[in-house]
């Protein structure tokens, strides 16, 4: 622990010293195309941050930078003050296309098991952990079914359960509820908030839905497409809404409506 603290002091970190993840002047080009430019922001432990912006503004790319699957062209992404150099077992990612992200030949329990196997958990301890995780996301009665036998919402719950099996310190979510119907989406939003609050997980949430971003987050970050010489970070909206959030009460709160208006106006202006 003290070694980690020493490391923190040794490496200069922009923003808060308590940042779990910090983007420091990050830039990324795909060939000659500039996707992200001079992006700086920090993610504090336990925080939920949403990223919104037009398509092609590098939202998904941003997540891939945190997983370490992609390296920045300029600047650095730090975790606990150290540059991220590859995937870590406690960084989980929920993909939007749950159907492709689940293994169709494994049962519901088998899909959760994959994460436990990757973590090297002895097989004797797996069934209990799997049962607990499936109960958490409400899939306990479906443990023996296969993904194709589940509805879209249930498949996404399964993917979330697999991510929770990694006991993530950081949960990355790439438009996870975008393909679901409105009711299922609201259910899953609340369930996600509950699960994340229980475990104190830090969340970086990508969405194109402004309402969803405000409803879930402590901070909403708006990105700019084709940044050119400007920073990719177009604007930051702090969200001061009480928790736990409630689908009706929160969405009717004057502060919610004010933020929504502000963010919409801003995004319209910049298009």
Partner 1 sequence: MAGALAARPALARWRGCVVPLLALLACELAWRAHPMQSDAVAPPSAVLRALVVALGDGSLARATAQTLLASLGGLLLGAGGGLLAGVLLGLSRPAAASAGLLIELLRPLPSVALIPVAMLVFGFGYRLEIAVIGFAVFFPMLLLAHAAVRTVPARLTEVSAVLGLSLTAHVRKIVLPAALPRLFVALRLCVGIALVVAVTTEIASNPQGLGYALLSAQQSLAPDTMLAVLLWVGCIGWGANAGLLAVERRCFGAMQVGGGAP
DSSP string, 166-178: T--SEEEEESTTT
Do the beta carbons of residue 160 and residue 177 sit within 8 Å?
Answer: no
Q: Select the span of 18-26, 53-61, 112-120, 192-200 touching partner 1 (CB under 8 A).
A: 112-120
Q: Verify binding: residue 243, partner 1, rule CB under 8 A.
A: no
CB nearer to partner 1: give 113 or 219: 113
Q: Considering the complex, state which of residue 47 and residue 97 has its C-beta at the smaller distance from partner 1.
A: 97
Which of 76, 71, 79, 9 is CA-nearest to residue 44? 79
Cα–Cα distance between 146 and 212 in angstroms, integer?
A: 30
HEC assignment per residue over 99-128: HHHCCCCCCHHHHHHHHHHHCCCCHHHHHH
The residue among 25 and 167 lying less far from partner 1, judged by its C-beta, is: 167
Asked if 179 interacts with partner 1 (CB under 8 A), we say no
Among residues 34, 71, 107, 146, which is the contact residue for partner 1, using CB under 8 A? 146
**Binding partner 1 by CB under 8 A: which of 22, 166, 217, 232?**
166
Residues in the chain: 271
Q: Contact with partner 1 (CB under 8 A): which of 118, 135, 249, 257? A: 118
- Distance separating alpha carbons of residues 70 and 50, to the nearest angstrom: 20
Q: Is 123 in the site for partner 1 (CB under 8 A)?
A: no
Here the tokens at position 209 are 């839905």
Binding segment (CB under 8 A) for partner 1, from list 45-53, 76-84, 143-151, 256-264 = 143-151
> Which of the residues 67 through 106 are near partner 1 (CB under 8 A)?
67, 69, 87-89, 91-93, 95, 97, 100-101, 103-106
Task: Tell me: does residue 177 bind partner 1 (CB under 8 A).
Answer: no
Strand blocks (E) in 18-168: 21-30, 33-43, 48-52, 74-79, 82-83, 91-94
Among the listed ranges 2-10, 12-20, 28-36, 110-118, the one in contact with partner 1 (CB under 8 A) is 110-118
CB 235 within 8 A of CB 223: no
Q: Which of 16, 125, 149, 236 binds partner 1 (CB under 8 A)?
A: 149
**Which helix (DSSP H) or strand (DSSP E) does residue 213 occupy?**
helix 210-216
Interface ranges with partner 1 (CB under 8 A): 67, 69, 87-89, 91-93, 95, 97, 100-101, 103-106, 114-115, 117-119, 146-149, 166
């Amino acid at each position: 622990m003290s070694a980690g603290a020493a490391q923190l002091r040794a490496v200069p970190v922009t923003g808060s010293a308590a940042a779990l993840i910090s983007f420091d002047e990050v830039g990324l080009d795909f060939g000659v195309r500039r996707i992200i430019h001079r992006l700086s922001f920090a993610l504090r432990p336990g925080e939920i941050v949403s990223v919104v912006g037009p398509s092609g503004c590098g939202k998904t790319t941003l997540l891939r930078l945190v997983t370490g699957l992609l390296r920045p062209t300029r600047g650095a992404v730090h975790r606990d003050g150290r540059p991220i150099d590859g995937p870590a077992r406690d960084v989980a990612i929920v993909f939007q296309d749950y159907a492709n992200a689940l293994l169709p030949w494994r049962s519901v329990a088998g899909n959760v098991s994959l994460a436990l196997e990757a973590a090297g958990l002895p097989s004797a301890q797996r069934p209990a952990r799997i049962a607990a995780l499936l109960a958490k996301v409400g899939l306990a009665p479906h443990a023996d079914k296969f993904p194709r036998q589940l509805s879209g919402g249930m498949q996404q719950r399964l993917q979330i359960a697999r991510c929770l099996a990694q006991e993530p310190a950081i949960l990355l979510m790439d438009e996870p509820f975008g393909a679901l119907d409105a009711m299922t989406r609201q259910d899953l939003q609340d369930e996600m908030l509950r699960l994340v609050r229980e475990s104190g997980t830090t969340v970086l949430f990508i969405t194109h839905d402004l309402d969803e971003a405000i409803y879930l987050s402590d901070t909403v970050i708006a990105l700019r497409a084709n940044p050119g010489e400007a920073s990719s970070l177009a604007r930051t909206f702090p969200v001061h809404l009480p928790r736990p959030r409630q689908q009706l009460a929160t969405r009717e709160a004057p502060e919610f409506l004010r933020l929504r208006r502000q963010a919409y106006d801003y995004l319209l202006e910049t298009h």
